[in-house]
Amino acid sequence: MSTDSKKPATQKATTNTQAEDTAKTGIRLRDYQQQAVDAAVRYFRAQSGSAVIVLPTGAGKSLVIAELARIAKGKVLVLTHVKELVAQNAEKVALLTDEASIYSAGLRQKLTQGKTVVASVQSAGRNLEAFDSHYSLVVIDECHRVSLEQDGQYQQLLEHLKSHNPKLKLLGLTATPYRLGLGFIYRRHYHGRVGNPDRGIFDDCIFELPLRPLIKQGYLTPPRLYDGLSAQYDFSSLPSNSNGEYDEAKVDALLSHSGRATKAIVNQLRQLANTRKGVIIFAATVRHAEEVLTLLADEQAALITATTEMQQRDAIIRAFKAQELKFLVNVAVLTTGFDAPHVDLIAIMRPTASVSLFQQMVGRGLRLAEGKQDCLVIDYAASGFDLFYPEVGTPKPAANSVPVQVPCPECGFANIFWGKTDEDGDIIEHFGRRCQGLLQDNSQCSYRYRAKSCPDCGAENDIAAKICHQCQSTLVDPDKRLKEVLSKQHHHLFKVQQMLLHAEEGRLRVQYLDYDGNDFNQYFKMETSAQRRALFACFIHPHSKTPGLKLPKYSQPQQLVDDAARFRAPDMLLLKKQARRWDLLQSFFDYQGRFQTEKSFLGSSNLA
């Protein structure tokens, strides 16, 4: 946590009080650190909710925590999950105010008498009776680790503290306010958008600072990010779980056939390390890490895993920080709570579907150090993440997806969704469902880009909803309905492989092809305004890849044929046989269910 005397030209003048505090401590908060503190003070003066501050790795969260502890009128508890962060936060508190009490079995201290107590959640959670005092503020460092489970250590401890002070204030700090499987960890964002209104752990994000300004202002080291330069692993065939993690046995099985790639990667890292001071390697599995360490046998290298004994781990980290070791190989250990500013080469050799984890790994190399010009980051796992992407709040739907800005046609809010762009940067597809804007009454904008209608009241619901938000009716499970309909005669489930558009005799023909070459066709005339409105309702609107964005006014079939790339095909069509034709009963978009791959419904049938 740097306390540079250097400050950017944009920094505001400090108040007299701040100047006096600087004279006493010799430390001046950076402009954004003071802004984060001020945001917390304003928030808790106005309301009693829980809040989140988002600062990139290396931005100095510990100093923000220390300043809040200094100005707090009551007793403060600072919680985190690793002893390294306990020690780091206690050190910064001591720089700004009275020495903090430390409660951590790993640090062999269990004290709570001070105004500020810095504790590991594991130690505190096992000794709730030691925290019977009246605390006014709880600050959680790395708060993205807090879960919703009521039997979790954080939640149990917070409930215990609230039993002694129902008005307890709760503040979280993190660089990555998002969890795979959960989404954003807050309900609302101060920029006027929703986060995770249904499952947010905290109420409000009250301050957020992107990475790029800190690099531009000289507070963090510029990263130079490259894909694997000599070789890469291809983990694309492996599925990840809801937390963005991969099955270790499957990863090992894939890596067992990648020996040449591992050898080429390590040889390259050895060459690059000749001009680097410290190298951290994130390996995929323990077996993989041991293989890497073997290939580094004649280098100053060591390995840390979750099973490394604590004394040995501490000794390895001390040696690495003292630059007695050049390479430090680890497996899911050094992503948080590890501070070695001299690190200037990061090698990512493990898969992850989590942009948060990716940012945490890269963050290990972004701290400032004397003589350090940049940090070389090589992604040998082809993760495809960009460090400067804004967090979208949902998993990346495809490897080539990027964040795109989609204005809401109702409230005008500029949403950030996953999407795809062409070479000119124009949006060709987005995957947004509902506007994320907050209205003046603090409610979420009701506009939905993609929705399914309730058959009882007609209200639009999220495409994955099971209960109508308007009338509380149970929305029919598509699999249940398909099973019932397909049990009747004269119904067919048409699995769409391709959709083609044709201009024929003044009308538009939409041709759907299935996996056996059968086709089903829809026809639309475009001569009158009523026919064009029907075309929009039945085809253009439901098939658009960019719902909510303004489309051209189509007056001729050939215009739609020329714009065919703007429209997406449905996954399936439910058809019913009439005397001389098949009628379309329903189109299924974004379908995920048992009929998608069930061969009994993908067989051939004559749809002529």
C-alpha 240/C-alpha 357 separation (Å) is 13
Which distant-in-sequence residues (6+ apart) come within 8 Å of 25 by Cβ?
A: 95, 96
Give residue 588's pLDDT. Answer: 87
C-alpha 532/C-alpha 99 separation (Å) is 74
Examine the pLDDT at 218 and tell me if it is beyond 80: yes
Q: Is 415 exposed, middle or buried (0-12, 13-18, 19+ CB in 10 A)?
A: buried
CA distances from 192 to 80, 200, 224, 549, 557 (A): 29, 16, 33, 21, 41
Give residue 359's pLDDT. Answer: 85
C-alpha 285/C-alpha 350 separation (Å) is 8
At 378-400, the pLDDT tens digits run: 999 888 777 777 677 777 787 78
Confidence of residue 246 (pLDDT cuts 50, 70, 90): low
| Average pLDDT across the chain, whole number | 86
Q: What is the DSSP letter of 562?
A: H
**What value does the mean pLDDT take over residues 63-75?**
96
At 482-526, the pLDDT tens digits run: 787 777 778 888 999 999 999 998 899 999 999 888 999 999 999
Q: Is 108 exposed, middle or buried (0-12, 13-18, 19+ CB in 10 A)?
A: exposed
| Coil, helix or strand at residue 444 | strand
Confidence of residue 76 (pLDDT cuts 50, 70, 90): very high
- To 10 degrees, what angle do helices 259-272 and 286-295 make? 50
Give residue 176's pLDDT. Answer: 87
Confidence of residue 86 (pLDDT cuts 50, 70, 90): very high
Percent of all residues in the chain with a pLDDT value above 90, rounded to a whole number: 58
Give residue 499's pLDDT. Answer: 96
Confidence of residue 258 (pLDDT cuts 50, 70, 90): low
CA distances from 184 to 146, 180, 204 (A): 12, 9, 11
C-alpha 540/C-alpha 98 separation (Å) is 66
CA distances from 24 to 31, 276, 296, 409 (A): 18, 38, 49, 54
What are the structure tokens assigned to 426, written together? 């124009």
**What value does the mean pLDDT take over residues 411-433?**
91
- Per-residue three-class SS string for 474-517: ECCCHHHHHHHHHCCCCEEEEEEEEEEEEEECCEEEEEEEECCC
Greater confidence (299 vs 260) lies with: 299
- To 10 degrees, what angle do helices 61-71 and 83-96 make? 50
Length of the chain: 608
Give residue 606's pLDDT. Answer: 41
Confidence of residue 472 (pLDDT cuts 50, 70, 90): confident
Pairing state between β 75-80 and 116-120: parallel
- To 10 degrees, what angle do helices 61-71 and 31-46 make? 50
